[in-house]
Structure 1
């Protein structure tokens, strides 16, 4: 995976890591999906840790970002957190251990057409009695 293929992600994001696993003579792709709880380092030594719940047990795995074993990284959801290291998720259980999803604002021509405030203003003008 080249540097240009690595998506930008931060702590709190849900990502899917596709990892190349060699078992004897065979090779397969294994996926690990979870929440990024930390990123550390710079350059070639940069690593990130992903946490997921597997059958009620918390599993954390640390990946080197520039490892040749990394096949693909996908950002599933972007999370909204105010910390760089999310170690507090380790002691939380159930729904409390979820990270709030970040809302994305889409701007463009299509968003202006579907704006509810403009549509309601037009409807109000049409319904108003003309004097």
Structure 2
């Protein structure tokens, strides 16, 4: 017999698939939080300080790490492609990428919100989702 958590994960994974995303269950302790990301934003992004979900407004790595200790299970979502731009290459993304990637931003954040809201109303009150904006600067090495 499956536990309530297993049933909820199956339900949320199905919802993610319906929205074109892949969900994978992972241990919350396996989520990597790193300081370098915040510095890349601070010193490499023209959008620094312009969005409430980005540094300096986003939680610090230490705050995020402490939050994650309160959870045992996480769902990692994978979104593949850019709506309306199936063959987009990284060097084709304009510097002012937020309007250009509007549909991607809405796809990611609305999917995360739907899963969080569904879990919350299914009696998982600690459900919390981290959405995000796409970043024009992909990590290297």
TM-score, with normalisation over the residues of structure 1?
Answer: 0.22
The answer to which structure has the higher strand fraction is: 1
The answer to which structure has the higher helix fraction is: 2
